[in-house]
Each structure stands twice: as structure tokens, then as C-alpha cells.
Amino acid sequence: MAVQYQISGKTAAEIVRSVEDGVRTGALRAGDLLPTVRALAAELSVATNTAAAAYQQLRQRGIVETQGRHGTRVRPEPPISADRSSRGPVVPDGVLDLAIGEPSLLPDLGPVLAHVAAAGVTANYRDAGVLPELAERARERLPELPADTAITVVGGALDGLDLLFSTALRPGDQVGVEDPGWAASLDLVAAHGLSVVPIPVDDDGPTPQGVREALQKGVKAVIVTARAQNPTGAAVTPKRAEHLARELRNRDVLLIEDDHAAELAAVPLATLAGVTPRWAFLRSASKPYGPDLRIAVLAGDPDTVARVEGRRRLGAGWVSTVLQRTLVRLWETADVSAAAREYDARRTSLVEALRARGFTAYGRTGINVWIPVDDETRILTALRDSGYAVAPGSLHRVASPPGVRVTIANLTQADIEPFADAFAAA
């Protein structure tokens, strides 16, 4: 009955608002079964078209999902509730923050910004867009991409995903996502009313079997992290890229590659670009140069890039040419190789220290280490009491087993052995 589900309203908008309020207050919980369209219409004394329109809007907003004969249910982790990417642990004073997931070894932006400021800002509404010098430098830095690659810029990797979802997918479409994977991307999938199809990950990236099964389920897009996968540190090897290419070649899916940590990655890029007719490749500036630089290169097939640019013109318009010039200058002058080597040393030392104590740990590249555990809450609590905050794996998981993520950006060599001891005692 509608009363049981706390639903009220006489118009589609009122019914939608009632369901959203129920989710916010906890009266409706993830997995709760909602009345059928006919039952809801009868209970509220409204037309079936009104109830159907309300459910359609709720699906489009990612609040509910329709499961055929199993009815309409409240989606797990609906985007109007607390999202994954904002639910990191509270870090008390005196506790070393290994949960934040941000880089710490960054170049000095002062001279770069001074150089850009001295050059002056010349962009206007008519002329703004992708700077030719940025596009040229991007092509030089991405020789692995196909010759007919189109290039644009977006406001970071997540903005790129948002634009790709908006222009290529519809609410209800399924997306193959790495599991465990980037918490923010899982939030974004839900916010667009899309459904996650989890793809297992090992040290070499998404598994071919996982991709094959996702394709069999009818996914419309697949997201692959090329290197420094969050949270596992996985990186796609040339051999794995060959195997994935066999599964994906000429499939009618949008292939999205995320190479967010490019300059910090300790292994060469093995890209899948061009394997599918529709594809996009993202490379952001946040990890090597700083999280506040909200800019990323988005490369792809001409049609996909044109759609993204068209949608951007109706929103933000363009990425600031000041940011674009800053990125070009960083590419020309900033050397992040020392930071990459230091991250590599810290990550390797932590993995070895944990393995020496009998624990499995993963972290081939990037700034994160993934540690499988039996009980995330127990480990989080014990480590916090020992002076360390780590990220719960639940933020990153869909169907994969429990684990915790440790970001090594704030973990010096002197911290590694004490942390490993604390983990062993947890």
C-alpha cells in the first residue's frame, strides 16, 4: 500500500518529491519494494499515467530501479543520500591521515602562474576553446593514440565522465565499472540513473572474463583505468590490453580510459584507444600537478569529442584558457619524476612490509595500496586508535570482498614499519 511506503501526492512532481523525502529520512531504504504503478495510482486516486511518469522521473534521477517482474525498488546508495565519495572517515587531531587520497609531492605553481599572468589573458566568448598549443602538446605526449584522434579539454577527469555520460548514455543504461573502483565514479553512475555492472580487477587491470560477462549483460559503456587504479594501484599491461582488445574490438560500447596519474605512473601506457568505434581517453592534471588544477585532456573519436564539446558549450562553455596555459607551462617546465620515484618507493616499501607480516597487499602503481581484510570496521577502528586513518573499502566496492585503502602520499619511509606493526596488531 502507498501509505506503507510513505508516498503521497496528486501530481508526478509531488509523488517524486514524496519518494525522495522518504529516502532522505530513512522511511524508504535501499532495496525497498515500491507499489506497482497501478497499485500506487489506485491508492493515491491518480491516473496511471501520473504514477508511471513519477516512476520514470525517479529512475532518471537514479532513485529507483525497475527489475522486470521483481518490481520497482529503491536503488542501493541512491544519490540523494550520503554519497560514497563524501563518506570518508573523520580524522581526529593527532591521527595520520592515510585516507584522503590526495597527492602531497607537488611542483611549485608560483613561477608557472607568474609566467601565465605575464603573458596576459586574451580569451573572450567568441575565441575561447581548446588552445592550439595545448592540443599540440597533448598529441606529442600521447603518441599511442590513433592518428584521427580529436582532442578537447574538460574540468577534470570526473567532469569528463559526467559529460560522456550525458552525451552517450540514457538513464537505465548499464555501465561496466571496475570493482573495487573509484568511489566518485560510482556516485556519478548512480546520479545519472545508470546501473553498475561490476568488473573484477587484478594487478593487471580489469579481468578479460569480467569484461566479457559485462558485455554479455548488455553494458553500453566500459570504464578502464589505464594505470594507478583507485584503490588497488592496478595498471593495464600490454598483454592484458591485448586480451581486453579481443573482448572489446568493434563492440557497440563506449570505451572510456582513465589515465589520471599519467606522469606519476611507474609503468608505460598500454592503451585500448581505437579498439571500439566510440572511445574516450582522459588524462587529468590533478595527481601530478595538484588537485586544484581542475583540467583534463579528453581525447577520443571525432564524434564522441564533438558531442562533449557541444554539451560543454551549453554549460560552462569552455575550460579557462588561464588553466590551459598553466597546464602547458607545467608540461614544459615541471619535472615530477622525483615525486614519482618517491611515491613508488613508499608504496613498494609498504607492500613489502605488510607481506613480511603475512598480509596480502596490492599496489603496482600510483599513490594507493589496497589491503584485503575480513572486517573493515574492526581494522578502521583499531588503526584509528593506533594513530592512523585509512579509507574503508566499502566506499569503493560493489560486489568485491572487503578491504581498506591506504594512501601513501602522507606516509614517509619512517612511518612505514610502525604502520605495518599497527596493522598487524589490528
CATH number of the domain encompassing residue 377? 3.90.1150.10
CB 336 within 8 A of CB 290: no
Q: What pLDDT score does 31 carry?
A: 84
Cα distances (angstroms) measured from residue 359 to each of 138, 180, 181, 354: 41, 18, 21, 5
The enclosing domain of 25 has a CATH number of 1.10.10.10
Give this prediction's pTM: 0.83
Question: How far is Cα 143 from Cα 177, in angstroms, rounded to an integer?
Answer: 26
What per-residue confidence (pLDDT) applies to 15? 94
Q: What is the pLDDT of residue 161?
A: 98
Tell me, yes or no, whether 308 and 367 share the same domain: no
Taking 70 as the pLDDT cut, the residues of the chain under it are 1-5, 60-62, 67-70, 76-89, 122-123
- Residue ending a domain, among 298, 333, 368, is 333
> Are 341 and 320 part of one and the same domain?
no
User: Same domain, yes or no, for 173 and 186?
Assistant: yes
- Whether residues 266 and 348 share a domain: the answer is no
Residues 315 and 354 in one domain: no
Do 220 and 364 sit in the same domain of this protein?
no
In a domain, 82, yes or no: no
Residues 6+ apart with CB under 8 A from 148: 301, 302
What does the mean pLDDT of the chain come to?
91
Q: Please state, in angstroms and rounded to a whole number, the distance separating the CA atoms of residues 2 and 14.
A: 14
How high is the pLDDT of residue 109? 94
Cis, bond preceding 180 (omega within 30 deg of 0): yes
Residue type, 151: I
Given 305, 333, 361, the domain boundary residue is 333
Q: Which of 299, 333, 367 is the last residue of a domain?
A: 333
- Does one domain contain both 353 and 309? no
Domain total in the chain: 3
Q: How far apart are CA 363 and CA 266, in angstroms?
A: 11
Which CATH number belongs to the domain containing residue 158 in this structure? 3.40.640.10
User: Does 249 lie in the same domain as 183?
Assistant: yes
User: Do 232 and 347 share a domain, yes or no?
Assistant: no
Q: Is 16 contained in some domain?
A: yes
CA distances from 205 to 158, 243, 247, 259 (A): 20, 11, 14, 12
**Do 209 and 258 share a domain, yes or no?**
yes
Domain that holds residue 181: 110-333
Q: Are 205 and 152 in the same domain?
A: yes
Q: What is the reported pLDDT for 45?
A: 94
Q: For residue 100, what pLDDT is reported?
A: 87
For the record, the C-alpha cell of 408 comes out as 601513501
State residue 191's pLDDT score. Answer: 84
Q: What is the 3-state secondary structure (H, E, C) of 393-426?
A: HHHCCCCCCCEEEEEHHHCCHHHHHHHHHHHHHC
pLDDT in tens, 24-48: 888 898 888 999 999 999 999 999 9
Mark whether 326 and 343 lie in a shared domain: no
